[in-house]
Amino acid sequence: MNDIVIYSATSLCAVYFILIAIFLFGLFRRSRRVNGRHLSVSVIVPARNEATNIDACLRALSSQTYPANHLEIIVVDDRSTDDTAARIDKWARCLPNLSRVSVTQQDYDCPKKNALWQGIKHARGDIIFTTDADCRPGPNWIISTLAHFAPEVGMVIGHAPLLQNKKALSGLLSLQALIVSTLAAGSAGIGFPLTCSGRNMAYRRKAFDEVNGFSDIGHIIGGDDVLLMRQVAQKSAWKIRFNADADAFVPSASHPDNLINRQVRYQSKTIHYGIPTLILALAVYIFHVILAALPILFWTDAELFYVVGSCLGIKIIADAVFLLLGSIRFKSPKLLLWFPVLEILIIPYIVIICALGTFSPFKWK
């Protein structure tokens, strides 16, 4: 039995280390730049009860340096009960390229996919941009992103940092967003994109239509971003690129409220990623399950404790290098102050939250 545990622990540790090394190689690969100024753009912003956020979001979108005659902004009012719609209409009176679409039908079970689809149906742009109502894209977001749409590229994803605030665990959530972006950039860099954020993504309308949009994933709650990206990666010849330019960062505030439900929802999408990704995810999950047994091994088996403890040490070093280079790439070194907290929580998080995401029901919000 000991031999099986030792072999499993060391083998999975090697797999984990190799994966980190591969993703770091992809992190610093740069995509070919082009002149995308001739493309027509539709920005889709789903909004439900976002009266406190929508003004700042639209102010940011109205300040884009991309020519207004090539840009339309569509805000989808997803049955808001506050004055979100009135605020959108107020902006529309001074921004001729802004329009409001109201959700009046449910084409998909997933609320956000449904809202996005209502906006996309009205969109006229060659390129669809998506962001959330609480996001604040910088003025060069569109221009910077379009520069990565080489002829073979169907989707461009980007960094969506969560800004720290005074709420508990805000910094840890900001570090989680950095992890997502580092993994997204690294995996996209090697041609095997694993994750992304719908707060900062853009795709060709043609690529969206080729994979039938949300038709095959509309019944899945969540995944308006990652699952669509996986559709494009698996079902089309389009390439997916990551735009790591600082001009294209799309920040928003972190939301520690309703934390467990959010985290379970985030992890629930993994089971729909496809067999190759599931195999990698399962290997990483089993590795963390073995590491979770370390306190028990301390009292029961010195040999196994030494082996598994050594694997834990290697994992911590790999994680540290991964996040250090990610923080350099995305200009957020202060987030590393949360690294010790992350390493304490990451094993129970993966073992428990990932399992709940796979098997436990959750609410959308």
pLDDT in tens, 260-308: 676 777 677 777 787 888 899 999 999 999 999 998 887 888 888 999 9
| C-alpha count within 13 angstroms, C-beta hemisphere, residue 101 | 21
Q: What is the mean pLDDT of the chain?
A: 91
- Does pLDDT of 26 surpass 60? yes
* Residue pair 124/40 in contact by the 8 Å Cβ criterion: yes
- For the chain, which domains are there? 2-25+274-359 (no CATH), 32-257 (3.90.550.10)
When computed from its CA atoms, the radius of gyration of the chain, rounded to whole angstroms, is: 21
Phi and psi, residue 214, nearest 5°:
-95, 10
Query: Which distant-in-sequence residues (6+ apart) come within 8 Å of 121 by Cβ?
Result: none
Write the burial class of residue 8 (CB in 10 Å: 0-12 exposed, 13-18 middle, 19+ buried): middle
Q: What is the pLDDT of residue 360?
A: 55
Q: Within 13 Å of residue 19, how many CA atoms lie on the same side as its CB?
A: 21
Q: How much of the chain exceeds pLDDT 90, in percent? A: 76
CA distances from residue 248 to 61, 138, 236 in whole angstroms, order as listed: 12, 7, 25
In DSSP terms, 32 is beta-bridged to none
pLDDT band at 364 (very low <50, low <70, confident <90, very high): very low
pTM of the model: 0.93
Q: Which residue has the higher pLDDT, 197 or 364?
A: 197
Mark 243-267 as b/e (b = at least 16 C-beta within 10 Å): bbbebbbbbbbbeeeeeeebbbbbb
More confident residue, 353 or 193: 193
Residue 301: the pLDDT is 86
Is residue 169 pLDDT above 70, yes or no? Answer: yes
CA–CA separation, 293 and 284 (whole Å)? 15
pLDDT at 30: 77
Residue 239 parent element (H or E): strand 239-243
**What's residue 72's pLDDT?**
97
Q: Which pLDDT value is given to residue 359?
A: 63
The first and second tokens of residue 196, run together, are 């992304």
Instruction: Work out the average pLDDT over 325-332.
Output: 96
If you average pLDDT over residues 112-123, what whole number do you get? 96
**Tokens read off for 279:** 């195999």
pLDDT in the model for residue 296: 87
Of 3-12, 137-146, 282-291, where does mean pLDDT reach its minimum? 3-12
State pLDDT tens for residues 203-256: 999 999 999 999 999 988 888 999 999 999 999 999 999 999 999 999 998 775
CB atoms within 10 A of CB 270: 19
Q: Burial code of 160-184, b = ≥16 C-beta within 10 A, e = fewer?
A: bbbebeeeeebbbbbbbbbbbbbbb
d(CA 115, CA 97): 19
